[in-house]
Structures are given as C-alpha cells and as structure tokens.
Amino acid sequence: MKITIFGTGYVGLVTGACLADVGHDVVCMDVDQAKIDKLIGGQIPIYEPGLEPIVKHNAEAGRLSFTTDTEAAVAHGELQFIAVGTPPDEDGSADLQYVLAVARAIGQHMDGYKVVVDKSTVPVGTGDKVRDAVRAELDRRGLELDFDVVSNPEFLKEGAAINDFMKPDRIVVGTDSDRARELLRETYYPFNRNHDRMIFMDIRSAELTKYAANAMLATKISFMNEIANLSERLGADVEAVRRGIGSDPRIGYHFIYPGCGYGGSCFPKDVQALARTAAGCDYEARLLNAVESVNLSQKYVLFDKVSHYFQGQLDGKVIAVWGLSFKPNTDDMREAPSRALMEALWKADAKVQAFDPEAMSETQRIYGDQDGLTLCGTKEQALKGADALVICTEWKEFRSPDFASIAATLSEPVVFDGRNLYEADMLSRHGLIYYAIGRGRNQFQVG
C-alpha cells in the first residue's frame, strides 16, 4: 500500500520504518530539513534500539524514502498518517497547530480519495477539527473529493518501540467509515496474523483511549510514589510492599515501581491535557490533578534528600549524576527527572558532573551553556572529584557498579538512588551510605 507519514520523530520514523519493513511503500515527510538530510544520508536522528538497520534496509530496498516536499508527500499515499508533535500549550492543553497544519496541507494538495490517519495523541474532538481543516481547503479549491478521517493512536514505548510496533498488544482504530476500516485492516494485516489485535470503535473513543491508557499508567506510578513517601515516614520498605501487592493478579507487577517521578514526552503532557479537556467540559478531574501534583513534587525528592544530607550547604558541592534520559534505552530528555534535579542543584550553586549512555548530546544541546555542568565520557569519570552520587535513570550499566571504587572516589561516601537499584547492605559493606526511595525509617527523611 502507498503510505505517507507526516513527522519523522519517535513515532513517525518508527511507524514509517516498520510499515515499510512489511512491504508497504512509505514516504516520510518532515518540515525539519536537517532531520530529513540526515535520514537521506543514512543517519538516524534519534536513538531507538533496532531502528537503524530497519531504516537502512528499507531505504535501500526503495520502500522507504524521506522528503520535505509536502506536495509530493500528499500525492504519494492513499493513507496519510499524521505523527507530528502535540506539545503542551501554555495552559497545559494539547497544542494542535502542527496536526492542523498537516491537515490543511493535505486539503491543499490532495487530488483523490485519502484516509487521514491521526497517530499523534490528540484531544477528543480533534478528528472533527482535522476533517473541517481538510474540507475548508478543498472548498477553497472548489473541489469535492472524498476523504475519511481515522484516529489510530500509538502505544509504542520509546526504547522498545520496534518490538511494540511489530508485536502490538492492540491496534486501536476509530472510524465511522467502512472503506477506511478496510484500508486500515489491510495496512496492519501483517502485524495481526497471530491473533486479531484490531479494536475498532468510534473516533472520539479512540482519541480518549490513548489518554486513558497514559493517565492510568501515570496514576500507577504516582500511587506507588505516594506509598513510597508514606513508607519513609512509617518505617516500611516500599520494595517489600511492591512485591506484596504485585502478587495480586488484579494489581500485577507492572508499572508499580517507585522512583523519582515520571517524565518523557507523553505522561506529563497527556495527564495535563486530559485534565484540561475535563475542565473544558466543566468536570474537575480531581484524580488526574492529584497524579500530576504528586509527580511534580516527586521530581524534587532526590534534591531534597541531597540538600538535607548536606544541611542545605550545597554551594560549591560537586554532585555526580548517573542517568539523564527520562528512562533507559532512549536519548529523550523531555521532562526527565534528571532535569529537575540538575536545575535545582544549579540554583543552590552546586556543580553537576553528569553521565548518560545515550543522552549526552541531547544534554549538551539543552544545557550546553550551563557553567555548573561537566559532561563526562564514562560513569567513572563523573565520580572523580564529586562529593556524592545521584542516580536518576535505571540504565543496565548502573545495576552492578564497582561499589568499592565508588566509595574510594567520592569525597563523601554517599549514594542517592532515585530508582531503587540496590540493597543498602550491598553498599554499607563498602562503607557507602545509601539513600533510596521509600525504603524505611533508616532512610533519610525529608521534612
């Protein structure tokens, strides 16, 4: 099938590459010339495990190409996927300017039937806005062409995006058109052979499904962080509590890890946007607002612990930070807890020596001008001359570090672990003081 994808970010590029990999003829369009130049030159602008060989292989086979030419992109696909960003507006609602710009472009250039498939995460009702935008452009051109609008939200996880796309738990399609339904069924047929993963519904329900999924996951995290904060005050170990409740199949072990808050390009903005949508229909989303507010304060828990340990005297202290991306296996720093920590440390006149396996250039891009930041080539280098170590992201290579050398290198033998990677006695054997999240009264208490 001939498919056009607008947006070559985490979602668009993965979608385009995977659809080409099963044999579709895919054109990826982006307004970012530098990104498209890189892709044409065989470089991948983001870090996503397994993506590079799929892009290369399909580009070489002639099934995947990249362009900034809107007209050619619209001409190519019967299916036009919109996978552009929907960042938060000033009031937290989703900014639809990029989605609607693509819709208008499709209306300006289409010359036959198209299915406009919205893959971006968009508020309920956006399907109508996309339809109106396409139609307004057709009216301006004096044309009456058939088209359908479909909501096909994406559930991939950065860091495991290829596997998620190739073996999806579900493929949600919101449509009111039989013709579009059949085209989507055909598009996804290769991903659907083992059992039927397609769930068809109306457009509004599909749009809400995506927000409900992210809001539910964010709720689990904030819930567990609240239990962690209680554990610290009550002398309980949240890791024991986690195992205790996870064993109940109604609860399950997934997504109940306490930590230093959720980040990334989706949960924070989607929880906020859904709360704004609720406010827009005169409903106060008390639970969603609480999920967000627990997360906002959780992002400062590590800083509070560090500051408390040093009795508020952080001026001139050097803090090693391991893990900058918002989660492992990605270079994405959007809303990462490491950012809240580092910015708070700089405000307190501390210095940061930071290391991340993949997010160093992204950190350089965001904080390159920051005097208080030294980017280090290895996790060991980050420790040299540092007063304490803080871990923000649970990358595999941080799981079994050389504790003896950490103890020997840090000027204060203290580790703050925002992801509960270790057991306190592993570290105390090496003379390290260990502060984690929610691990009993022996843990550092804030406030």
Query: Shortest Cβ distance from residue 70 to ligand NAD (Å)?
Result: 7
Region of 316 please: left (phi>0), alpha (psi -120 to 50) or beta: left
Amino acid at 15: T
Positions marked catalytic: 266
Task: Label the pairing between strands 2-6 and 171-174.
Answer: unpaired
3-state SS assignment for residue 250: coil
Residue of 263, 231, 262 lying closest to 245 (CA atoms): 231
What is the torsional sign of CA 154, 160, 163, 167? negative
Q: Which is nearer to ligand NAD, 1 or 101 (CB)?
A: 101
Residue among 24, 35, 63, 439 that touches ligand NAD (CB under 6 A): 35
Q: Are 101 and 55 in contact (CB under 8 A)?
A: no
Q: Which residues pair with 6 in a beta bridge?
A: 29, 82
Query: Shortest Cβ distance from residue 72 to ligand NAD (Å)?
Result: 13
Query: Shortest Cβ distance from residue 19 to ligand NAD (Å)?
Result: 15
The angle formed by the CA atoms of residues 113, 116 and 119, to the nearest 5 degrees, is: 160
Within residues 184-213, the interface with ligand NAD by CB under 6 A covers none
Within residues 245-284, the interface with ligand NAD by CB under 6 A covers 265-266
Residue among 3, 4, 11, 19 that touches ligand NAD (CB under 6 A): 11
Residue 356 binds ligand NAD (CB under 6 A)? no
Rounded CA separation 303/312 (Å): 10
For residue 262, count CB atoms less than 10 angstroms from its CB and return exposed for 0-12, middle for 13-18, buried for 19 or more. Answer: buried
Residue among 25, 32, 226, 343 that touches ligand NAD (CB under 6 A): 32
Residue 85 binds ligand NAD (CB under 6 A)? yes
Q: Which is nearer to ligand NAD, 264 or 323 (CB)?
A: 264
Query: Shortest Cβ distance from residue 89 to ligand NAD (Å)?
Result: 13
Residue among 58, 67, 80, 120 that touches ligand NAD (CB under 6 A): 120
CA 191 to chain centre: 23
Q: Which is nearer to ligand NAD, 158 or 417 (CB)?
A: 158
What is the torsional sign of CA 277, 282, 287, 290? positive
Q: Which is nearer to ligand NAD, 394 or 417 (CB)?
A: 394
Task: Label the pairing between strands 114-118 and 147-151.
Answer: parallel
For residue 356, count CB atoms less than 10 angstroms from its CB and return exposed for 0-12, middle for 13-18, buried for 19 or more. Answer: buried
Q: Which is nearer to ligand NAD, 7 or 438 (CB)?
A: 7
Give the CB-nearest residue to ligand NAD.
9
Query: Shortest Cβ distance from residue 159 to ligand NAD (Å)?
Result: 9
Q: Which is nearer to ligand NAD, 156 or 388 (CB)?
A: 156
- Using the contact rule CB under 6 A, the part of the chain among 27-35, 140-148, 284-292, 402-410 near ligand NAD is 27-35
- Footprint of ligand NAD on this chain (CB under 6 A)? 6-12, 29-32, 35, 83-86, 98, 101-102, 120-121, 154, 156, 158, 265-266
